[in-house]
């Protein structure tokens, strides 16, 4: 996506340090992020798992919705684009080029090579933007972790490697003739091994066996080696944390779960961010998804930069930030269309992204385009008429010419779905005939809400929406406690880790 749009919004008093970018992170990093400005990078790229991920939206009764939409395709193929990425990686020369050549000899031109060719230039950019004393955590799984570690060694250097963190979790086992795969790998590197990095040592409880071995024997240990110090610390606050982390994945029932595939638990990001950054530091997540990193960074009072390549992710992050922090969080969004020509460019480049972006403008959730059940519906929005009763608004988004036939089709869908309101969002101006067809559709009203009248079929242009025009519907869409359209992020709690940070603000020399 090459759309060259820059837009600033949500920046009360112009003091936005936090940035949300829509676009390909390679392009965004190159264009917007300056050298050596970032303190901490966490990246959770697609894993080469060969799966297409769907966002699952919850129905109001709590069940998973049939309305799913593909969020991103986690599959890399050896094709012309991959071959070009590979050739580009070779132009960096040196250790990286040697490593990529070696990969090609070992892997041949396969999909893993395509994946690594995609990652190589992005890691180079991440290294460029990291401060000399900065750190980077690359989250992956055993599918590609062995290759990615070699790639990280090539981009940084083997001396920059600090830890291979094993994130161990439990989930319902699937019968198979091998051990259950229940861990991810997080590769922790520093930018420069000779710098003093931020490392706020974190402690874990001391195990029974440790106590049995060492309790009361501190005098026998050599104080010069540091062993004694660690033993004494263990008596007071536990052991410095190991590189194996037992943390739960987000259970289906947990409030934290927003329905985004591959969403990571906040507890994991809390640990990384509070250990490897301090208040006010800048944290970057170039594969941001539904924004776990930026939500935690915000809560822990770091500055943040998030990048994602789908408008769906950007919309989810906006909702997440609003739900967790209210209107208090200030940030700048870059890469979203802000004018009609921008929107036309987006529609031409990628009709799906255009649709997701347009639906994001009205806060609607997208519906996957399938034949059958959801035919004729591009998005949905819900509002409450009373505590347990909601109504739906159906959206149709058109990037091309619009005619009266589109209005009639939408009217038919609204009737079929027993929806309250139908909205046609178009790039082009509706014709007078379309307007009279829409007027003939009459009004939606509800006695529970005191019989207000809302046009049953509404025609909105992209330009209307960019000027701030809204769908005419009851306020409950946005003003109720619960946003019934997207799964709501819980309100952010006050810094749970403050105590820990105070306790152990130790800096470690990285070499």
Ligand X SMILES: C[S@@+](CC[C@H](N)C(=O)[O-])C[C@H]1O[C@@H](n2cnc3c(N)ncnc32)[C@H](O)[C@@H]1O
Q: Which of residues 76-105 bind ligand X (CB under 6 A)?
A: none
Angstrom distance (rounded) from CA 269 to CA 261 = 16
Q: Does 311 bind ligand X (CB under 6 A)?
A: no
- Which of 44, 270, 342, 378: binder of ligand X (CB under 6 A)? 44
Task: Supply φ then ψ for residue 359, to 5 degrees.
Answer: -65, -35
Q: What is the DSSP letter of 199?
A: -
Q: Does 145 bind ligand X (CB under 6 A)?
A: no
Q: Which stretch binds ligand X (CB under 6 A): 194-202, 262-270, 322-330, 336-344?
A: 262-270
- Which of 162, 191, 257, 264: binder of ligand X (CB under 6 A)? 264
Judged by beta carbon, residue 156 or residue 356, the one nearer ligand X is 356
- Which of 121, 134, 259, 289: binder of ligand X (CB under 6 A)? 289
Residue of 35, 188, 205 whose CA lies nearest to 125: 35
Judged by beta carbon, residue 199 or residue 287, the one nearer ligand X is 287
CB 143 within 8 A of CB 175: no
Q: What is the DSSP letter of 328?
A: G
Question: In the structure encoding, which two tokens stand for residue 244, read together?
Answer: 């194996």
Q: Does 46 bind ligand X (CB under 6 A)?
A: yes
Judged by beta carbon, residue 120 or residue 459, the one nearer ligand X is 120
Q: Does 290 bind ligand X (CB under 6 A)?
A: yes
Question: Least Å distance between CB 345 and ligand X?
Answer: 19
Binding-site residue total for ligand X (CB under 6 A)?
Answer: 19
Q: Does 336 bind ligand X (CB under 6 A)?
A: no
CB count within 10 Å of CB 459 equals: 23
Judged by beta carbon, residue 162 or residue 311, the one nearer ligand X is 311
Judged by beta carbon, residue 44 or residue 342, the one nearer ligand X is 44
Judged by beta carbon, residue 99 or residue 292, the one nearer ligand X is 292
Q: Does 287 bind ligand X (CB under 6 A)?
A: yes
Q: For the chain, how long is the longest CA-to-CA vector?
A: 93
Q: Does 313 bind ligand X (CB under 6 A)?
A: yes
Judged by beta carbon, residue 12 or residue 50, the one nearer ligand X is 50
List, in sequence order, every beta strand (DSSP E) within 234-287: 239-240, 244-246, 282-285
Question: Least Å distance between CB 486 and ligand X?
Answer: 14
Residue of 464, 462, 471, 404 whose CA lies nearest to 438: 404
Q: Does 25 bind ligand X (CB under 6 A)?
A: yes
- Which of 6, 10, 11, 24: binder of ligand X (CB under 6 A)? 24
Q: Does 304 bind ligand X (CB under 6 A)?
A: no
Judged by beta carbon, residue 262 or residue 390, the one nearer ligand X is 262
Please give the angle made by the CA atoms of 38, 43 and 44, to the nearest 5 degrees: 165
Q: Which stretch binds ligand X (CB under 6 A): 238-246, 260-268, 365-373, 462-470?
A: 260-268
Q: Which stretch binds ligand X (CB under 6 A): 42-50, 152-160, 227-235, 473-481?
A: 42-50
The strand pairing partners of 282, in sequence order, are 303
CB 16 within 8 A of CB 332: yes
Residue of 253, 264, 206, 259 whose CA lies nearest to 230: 206
Question: Least Å distance between CB 346 and ligand X?
Answer: 16
Question: Least Å distance between CB 307 and ligand X?
Answer: 5
Q: Does 309 bind ligand X (CB under 6 A)?
A: yes
Q: Does 307 bind ligand X (CB under 6 A)?
A: yes
Angstrom distance (rounded) from CA 290 to CA 288 = 6
Residue of 259, 290, 346 whose CA lies nearest to 69: 259
Q: Does 115 bind ligand X (CB under 6 A)?
A: no
Question: Least Å distance between CB 430 and ligand X?
Answer: 33
Q: CB-based burial of residue 23 (10 Å sphere; 0-12 exposed, 13-18 middle, 19+ buried)? A: buried
**Cα dist. 497→130, 203, 269, 275, 501 in Å?**
25, 12, 12, 10, 6
Residue of 490, 489, 479, 458 whose CA lies nearest to 384: 479
Question: Least Å distance between CB 142 and ligand X?
Answer: 15
Q: Does 310 bind ligand X (CB under 6 A)?
A: yes
CB 231 within 8 A of CB 205: no
- Which of 68, 231, 263, 487: binder of ligand X (CB under 6 A)? 263
Judged by beta carbon, residue 261 or residue 376, the one nearer ligand X is 261
- Cα 451 to chain centroid, rounded: 40
Q: Does 364 bind ligand X (CB under 6 A)?
A: no
End-to-end CA distance of the chain: 41
Q: What is the DSSP letter of 467?
A: T
| Tokens 């996957």, located at residue | 368
Report the interface residues with ligand X, using CB under 6 A: 24-25, 44-46, 72, 260, 262-264, 287, 289-290, 292, 307-310, 313
């Amino acid at each position: 996506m090459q759309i060259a749009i820059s837009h600033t919004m949500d920046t009360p008093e112009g003091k936005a340090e936090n940035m949300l970018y829509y676009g390909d992170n390679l392009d965004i990093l190159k264009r917007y992020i300056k050298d050596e400005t970032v303190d901490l990078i966490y990246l959770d790229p697609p894993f080469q798992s060969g799966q297409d991920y769907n966002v699952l939206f919850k129905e109001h009764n709590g069940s998973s919705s049939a309305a799913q939409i593909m969020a991103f395709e986690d599959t890399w193929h050896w094709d012309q684009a991959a071959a070009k990425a590979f050739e580009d990686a070779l132009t960096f020369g040196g250790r990286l080029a040697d490593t990529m050549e070696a990969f090609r000899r070992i892997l041949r031109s396969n999909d893993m090579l395509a994946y690594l060719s995609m990652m190589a230039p992005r890691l180079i950019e991440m290294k460029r933007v990291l401060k000399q004393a900065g750190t980077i955590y690359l989250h992956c799984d055993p599918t590609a972790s062995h290759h990615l570690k070699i790639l990280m060694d090539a981009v940084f250097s083997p001396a920059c490697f600090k830890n291979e963190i094993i994130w161990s979790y439990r989930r319902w086992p699937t019968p198979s003739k091998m051990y259950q795969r229940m861990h991810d790998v997080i590769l922790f590197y520093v930018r420069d091994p000779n710098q003093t990095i931020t490392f706020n040592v974190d402690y874990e409880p001391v195990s029974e066996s440790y106590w049995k071995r060492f309790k009361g024997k501190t005098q026998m240990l050599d104080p010069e080696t540091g062993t004694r110090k660690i033993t004494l610390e263990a008596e007071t606050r536990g052991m410095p944390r190991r590189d194996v982390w037992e943390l739960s994945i987000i259970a289906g029932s947990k409030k934290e779960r927003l329905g985004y595939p591959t969403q990571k638990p906040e507890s994991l990001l809390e640990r990384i961010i509070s250990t490897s950054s301090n208040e006010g530091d800048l944290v970057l997540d170039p594969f941001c998804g539904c924004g776990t990193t930026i939500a935690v960074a915000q809560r822990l009072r770091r500055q943040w930069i998030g990048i994602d390549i789908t408008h769906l992710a950007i919309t989810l992050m906006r909702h997440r930030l609003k739900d967790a922090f209210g209107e208090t969080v200030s940030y700048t969004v870059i890469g979203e269309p802000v004018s009609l020509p921008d929107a036309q460019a987006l529609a031409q480049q990628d009709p799906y992204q255009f649709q997701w972006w347009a639906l994001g403008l009205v806060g609607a959730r997208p519906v996957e385009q399938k034949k059958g059940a959801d035919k004729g519906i591009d998005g949905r929005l819900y509002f409450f008429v009373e505590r347990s009763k909601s109504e739906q608004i159906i959206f149709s988004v058109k990037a091309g010419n619009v005619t009266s036939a589109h209005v009639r089709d939408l009217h038919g869908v609204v009737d079929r779905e027993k929806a309250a309101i139908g909205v046609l969002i178009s790039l082009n101006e509706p014709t007078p005939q379309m307007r009279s067809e829409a007027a003939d559709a009459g009004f939606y009203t509800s006695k529970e809400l005191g019989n207000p009248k809302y046009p049953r079929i509404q025609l909105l242009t992209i330009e209307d929406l960019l000027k701030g025009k809204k769908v005419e519907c009851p306020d409950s869409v946005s003003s109720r406690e619960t946003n019934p359209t997207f799964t709501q992020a819980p309100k952010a709690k006050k810094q749970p880790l403050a105590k820990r940070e105070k306790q152990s603000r130790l800096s470690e020399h990285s070499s």
